[in-house]
Amino acid sequence: MTKLQDIADYLGVAPSTVSKGLNGANDISEDLRQQIIETAVEMGYVTKKMRREKHRKLAILFENMPYESKGDDGYAFTLGFKQLAQKSNWTVETMSITPEMQSERKFDAFMLRHGLSGAFLVGFGADDIWLAQLRSSRTPAVIFGPVVSGPRVASISIDPGSMFGALLANLTAQGHTQIAYFSGQKNHPDHDVLREAFQRACQKAGLNPSQCPVALDVTHPSCAEDYVNTYIDRGVTAIICHDDSIAEGIYAECELLGYKIPDDLSVIGYGDCALCTSISPMLTSIRMDASIIGKSAYNTLEGLLAHLPVAQVLLRPSIIIRQSTGISKNA
For the chain, give the secondary structure using H, E and C.
CCCHHHHHHHHCCCHHHHHHHHHCCCCCCHHHHHHHHHHHHHCCCCCHHHHCCCCCEEEEEECCCCCCCCCCCCHHHHHHHHHHHHHHCCEEEEEECCHHHHHHCCHHHHHHHCCCCEEEEECCCCCCHHHHHHCCCCCCEEEECCCCCECCEEEEEECHHHHHHHHHHHHHHCCCCCEEEECCCCCCCCHHHHHHHHHHHHHHCCCCHHHCCEECCCCCHHHHHHCHHHHHHHCCCEEEECCHHHHHHHHHHHHHHCCCCCCCCEEEEECCCHHHHCCCCCCEEEECCHHHHHHHHHHHHHHHHCCCCCCEEEECCEEECCCCCCCCCCC
Mark whether 79 and 172 lie in a shared domain.
no
Provide the domain limits for residue 85: 4-158+292-315
Residue 213 counted as domain residue: yes
**Integer angstrom CA distances of residue 262 from 61, 85, 144, 181:** 39, 44, 32, 16
Q: What is the pLDDT of residue 55?
A: 56
Same domain, 246 and 302: no
User: 140 and 39, same structural domain?
Assistant: yes
Tell me, yes or no, whether 188 lies in a domain. yes
Q: Are residues 73 and 217 in the same domain?
A: no
As beta bridge partners, residue 239 has 180, 267
CATH number at residue 169: 3.40.50.2300
pLDDT for 2: 73
Per the structure, the count of domains in the chain is 2
Asked whether residue 329 is assigned to any structural domain, the reply reads no
Q: Would you say residue 324 lies in a domain?
A: no
Residue 155: strand pairing partners:
143, 312
In a domain, 272, yes or no: yes
**Could you state, in chain order, the average pLDDT of each consecutive group of 10 residues for the chain (331 residues)?**
77 80 75 74 62 72 90 88 88 94 91 91 89 92 89 92 93 96 75 87 93 90 92 96 93 96 96 91 93 94 92 92 93 69
CB atoms within 10 A of CB 48: 9
Residues 166 and 136 in one domain: no
Q: Is residue 271 part of a domain?
A: yes
pTM of the complete model? 0.71
User: Does one domain contain both 127 and 236?
Assistant: no
Count of CB atoms within 10 A of residue 111's CB? 26
141/24 Cα distance (integer angstroms): 24
Q: What is the CA angle 43-34-134, rounded to 5? A: 60
Q: Are 23 and 169 in a shared domain?
A: no
